[in-house]
């Protein structure tokens, strides 16, 4: 079940879960041959304000995270973070388990570093983990333990859910680093991560490097130097790419007009937004929308 919030013209869904302590922060559903426990509105473009993990044993259909389609595979785990634009194509029978939990739920855990795990940070922008036989056995065992506690109210429920979830997320993060390799971040890499996080929070309102440097309490020159050295791209390019990504999401998934999208993204002038989008993508917003509708009817 989900509660509708307003995010421009794209709905944002939040959890309602009266079974567990801290209602609305944690939810577990098992599917055994029936369609997943989603409402029909999941077949329309939407966002979630919570983390979502789905372990697929078999069945299911194609779903989208941003502009990337995923054909659900057997013995695989799919995951997404709050705010990503999603769409399910059909509600088909599926066997598996879905877990959903909010940032607030993570913040309440004894191990506050959970939110920094690679699976949840997702620096490689991956949304699918393929599980070997040993992984399947481990994950299914942990999910069974989580499910048992989820349906066992009491003073120890929250602690047990937290303990099992910590092990699950840690294990999946190890798999994530194996399937999406990357080393421990340096101080400069951490600065770039913070910069990208601030962009994620403020890209609609802040389009200039100096504005982000002020948020990070460093000079714009230092931020630009570090970002260029670490990523190979100017700092302004990261801001522009995030704007283009959101524009593509809205053009791809919604009927909003180009003018509405321009204003949503903080552009005072729709014509300037169109020139910006064409400069970055080679297509006008209208051309991009038309080409994608032809590709994915």
Dihedral sign, Cα of residue 273, residue 277, residue 283, residue 285 = negative
Average pLDDT over residues 92-96: 87
Q: How confident is the model at residue 67 (pLDDT cuts 50, 70, 90)?
A: confident
Q: Judge whether 232 and 190 are in contact, CB under 8 Å.
A: no
Question: Would you give the DSSP letter of residue 177?
Answer: H
pLDDT digits (tens, 9 = 90+) for 99-116: 999 887 887 666 557 888
| Average pLDDT for the chain | 85
Task: Please name the residue that has the structure tokens 């989820």.
Answer: 150
- Length, in residues, of the chain: 297
**Least confident interval from 24-33, 34-43, 60-69, 128-137:** 34-43
Tell which wins on pLDDT, 154 or 235.
Answer: 235
DSSP string, 73-95: PTTEEEEE-TT-EEEES----EE
Residue 186 in this model has a pLDDT that exceeds 70: yes
CA distance 57 to 54: 10
Report pLDDT digits (tens) over 13-58: 888 644 444 457 899 999 887 765 555 567 788 888 899 999 999 8
pLDDT computed for residue 1 by the predictor: 33
Q: Is 232 helix (H, G, I), strand (E, B) or coil?
A: coil
For tokens 């944002």, name the residue. 12
116's CB contacts (< 8 A; 6+ apart) are none
Which band of pLDDT confidence, cut at 50, 70 and 90, is reported for residue 5? very low
In the predicted structure, residue 202 carries a pLDDT above the cut 90: yes
Instruction: Please give the backbone phi and psi of residue 2, each rounded to the nearest 5 degrees, phi first.
Output: -140, 155
Q: Which domains does the chain have, with CATH numbers?
A: 2-179 (2.60.120.280), 187-295 (1.10.10.60)
Sign (positive/negative) of CA torsion 97, 22, 113, 165? negative
Whether the per-residue pLDDT at 6 is higher than 50: the answer is no
């Amino acid at each position: 079940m989900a509660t509708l919030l307003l995010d421009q013209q794209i709905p944002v869904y939040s959890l309602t879960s009266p079974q567990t302590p801290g209602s609305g922060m944690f939810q577990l559903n098992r599917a055994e041959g029936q369609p997943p426990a989603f409402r029909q509105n999941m077949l329309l473009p939407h966002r979630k304000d919570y983390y979502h993990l789905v372990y697929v044993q078999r069945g299911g259909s194609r779903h989208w995270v941003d502009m990337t389609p995923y054909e659900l595979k057997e013995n695989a785990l799919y995951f997404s973070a709050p705010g990503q634009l999603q769409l399910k194509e059909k509600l088909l029978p599926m066997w598996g388990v879905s877990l959903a939990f909010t940032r607030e739920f993570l913040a309440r855990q004894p191990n506050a570093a959970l939110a920094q795990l690679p699976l949840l940070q997702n620096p490689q922008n991956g949304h699918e983990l393929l599980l070997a036989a040993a992984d399947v056995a481990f994950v299914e065992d942990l999910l069974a333990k989580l499910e048992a506690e989820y349906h066992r109210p009491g003073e120890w429920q929250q602690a047990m859910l937290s303990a099992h979830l910590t092990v699950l997320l840690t294990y999946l993060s190890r798999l994530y680093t194996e399937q999406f390799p990357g080393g421990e971040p340096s101080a400069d890499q951490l600065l770039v991560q913070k910069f990208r996080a601030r962009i994620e929070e403020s890209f609609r309102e802040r389009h200039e490097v100096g504005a982000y440097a002020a948020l990070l309490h460093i000079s714009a020159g230092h931020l630009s130097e570090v970002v260029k050295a670490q990523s190979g791209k100017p700092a302004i390019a990261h801001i522009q790419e995030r704007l283009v990504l959101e524009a593509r999401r809205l053009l791809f998934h919604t009927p909003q007009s180009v003018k509405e999208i321009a204003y949503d993204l903080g552009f005072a002038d729709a014509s300037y937004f169109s020139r910006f989008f064409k400069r970055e993508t080679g297509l006008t917003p209208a051309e991009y929308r038309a080409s994608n509708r032809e590709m994915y009817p």
